[in-house]
């Protein structure tokens, strides 16, 4: 019968369509998976909040305080207290991690006989007077949280601005131990940083550079040229060539010249003119770990403290060490 032939023809067409599309009405095509949150999770609470001893370098006294009170002072010293609370909270996790790691691995600050110090050259910045409600909220919402990798506190590095991309520890810090697996170059949204951080110029006299080179054991009678040598994965300069033959460490030279003036090794150009050496670059800091200006932007985008940490430290776990 003709109508049966019509049904058969329709059925054959449907079969062909199903075969071509690679799916069936019983097993529809799967949707693309949603982006997964960073590899962080809550660990098991291990104990109660500790008291720690802190060397107060302004007065020379040793003071005992609650860990969370100390962390609040560090957050206020390391980041602007009017920044988004989520950025401050990410800083709190790193400040706490830094402190716990130093205590567990080195006993804190053995030279002072304390577990922490307010001297930024020895430990972390600290400013109890700058602690406000914003900082208190950030510390309280991350209370006891420490970033770990395979059960151990991570190297909780951070810097002001990554200039768009972070760096490995070996390239950014001349780190001598094996590269931590959780430190990998990561994109960083640093466009909220001030203009003189996003692009800067730093000029030194040849004598200033030569004096630093001498301290580095690379004495030269004159500076005729300075060129960018090797670069790290992010494009940061890891070595510089002096007079085309002498290779020096970029990070070491930066510290010698003053890391506040030679803001980063994310250098675009080096020029030698007359008695001066001029560096042009972007970003502020060594570029390893969390970018503070990047954290600021991520917070304004609605990211949680854990997600901000996960942006800059890959595969870490957020453990809650105490309530």
Per-residue pLDDT of 161-175, as tens digits, reads 999 999 999 999 999
Confidence band for 298, pLDDT divided at 50, 70 and 90: very high
What pLDDT does residue 44 have?
A: 56
What does the mean pLDDT of the chain come to?
89
| Whether 307 contacts 295, CB under 8 Å | no
Lowest mean pLDDT among 41-50, 86-95, 237-246: 41-50
Instruction: Report the alpha-carbon distance of residue 37 to residue 272 in Å, rounded.
Output: 47
What pLDDT does residue 41 have?
A: 52
Per-residue pLDDT for 214 more than 80?
Answer: yes
List Cβ neighbours of 276 (8 Å cut-off, separation of 6 or more). Answer: 203, 204, 205, 206
DSSP string, 237-270: B-EEEETTTEEEEHHHHHHHH-TTTS--S-EEEE
17, burial (CB in 10 Å: exposed 0-12, middle 13-18, buried 19+): exposed
| Whether 262 contacts 297, CB under 8 Å | no
- Which comes out higher in pLDDT, residue 148 or 40? 148
Instruction: Report the alpha-carbon distance of residue 235 to residue 258 in Å, rounded.
Output: 21
DSSP state of 128: G
Tens digit of pLDDT for each residue in 18-32? Answer: 333 333 333 333 343
pTM: 0.86
What pLDDT does residue 23 have?
A: 35
What pLDDT does residue 251 have?
A: 97
Task: Say whether 50 sits in a helix, a strand or coil.
Answer: coil
List Cβ neighbours of 272 (8 Å cut-off, separation of 6 or more). Answer: 206, 223, 224, 225, 226, 278
Instruction: Report the alpha-carbon distance of residue 163 to residue 264 in Å, rounded.
Output: 9
Q: In the chain, how long is the greatest CA-to-CA distance?
A: 105
Q: What is the mean pLDDT of residues 205-214?
A: 98
Per-residue pLDDT for 207 more than 70?
Answer: yes
Percentage of the residues of the chain whose pLDDT score is greater than 90 = 85
Percentage of the residues of the chain whose pLDDT score is greater than 70 = 86
What pLDDT does residue 47 have?
A: 85
Q: What is the mean pLDDT of residues 106-118?
A: 97
- For the record, the structure tokens of 51 come out as 């008291």
Q: What is the mean pLDDT of residues 221-243?
A: 97
What pLDDT does residue 201 have?
A: 98
Lowest mean pLDDT among 32-41, 148-157, 286-295, 296-305: 32-41
What pLDDT does residue 64 have?
A: 98
Q: What is the mean pLDDT of residues 205-213?
A: 98
Instruction: Report the alpha-carbon distance of residue 101 to residue 153 in Å, rounded.
Output: 5
């Amino acid at each position: 019968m003709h109508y049966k032939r019509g049904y058969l023809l329709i059925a054959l067409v449907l079969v062909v369509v199903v075969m071509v599309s690679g799916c069936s009405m019983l097993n529809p095509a799967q949707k693309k998976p949603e982006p997964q949150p960073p590899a962080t999770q809550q660990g098991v609470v291990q104990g109660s909040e500790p008291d720690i001893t802190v060397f107060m370098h302004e007065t020379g006294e040793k003071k005992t305080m609650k860990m969370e009170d100390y962390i609040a002072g560090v957050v206020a010293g390391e980041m602007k207290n009017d920044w988004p609370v989520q950025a401050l909270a990410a800083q709190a996790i790193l400040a706490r991690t830094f402190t716990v790691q130093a205590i567990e691995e080195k006993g804190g600050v053995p030279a002072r006989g304390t577990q922490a110090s307010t001297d930024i050259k020895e430990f972390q910045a600290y400013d109890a007077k700058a602690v406000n409600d914003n900082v208190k909220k950030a510390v309280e919402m991350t209370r006891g949280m420490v970033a770990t990798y395979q059960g151990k506190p991570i190297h909780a590095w951070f810097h002001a601005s990554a200039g768009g991309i972070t760096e490995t520890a070996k390239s950014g810090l001349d780190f001598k131990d094996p590269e931590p697996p959780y430190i990998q170059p990561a994109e960083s949204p640093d466009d909220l940083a001030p203009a003189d951080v996003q692009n800067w110029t730093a000029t030194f006299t040849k004598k200033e550079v030569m004096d630093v080179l001498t301290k580095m054991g690379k004495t030269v009678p004159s500076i005729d040229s300075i060129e960018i040598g090797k670069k790290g994965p992010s494009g940061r300069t890891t070595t510089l060539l002096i007079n085309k033959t002498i290779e020096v460490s970029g990070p070491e030279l930066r510290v010698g010249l003053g890391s506040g003036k030679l803001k980063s090794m994310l250098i675009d150009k080096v020029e030698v003119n007359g008695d001066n050496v001029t560096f042009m670059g972007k970003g502020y800091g060594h570029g390893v770990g969390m970018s503070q200006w990047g954290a600021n932007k991520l917070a304004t985008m609605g990211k949680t403290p854990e997600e901000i940490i996960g942006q800059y430290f890959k595969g870490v776990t957020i453990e809650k060490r105490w309530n």
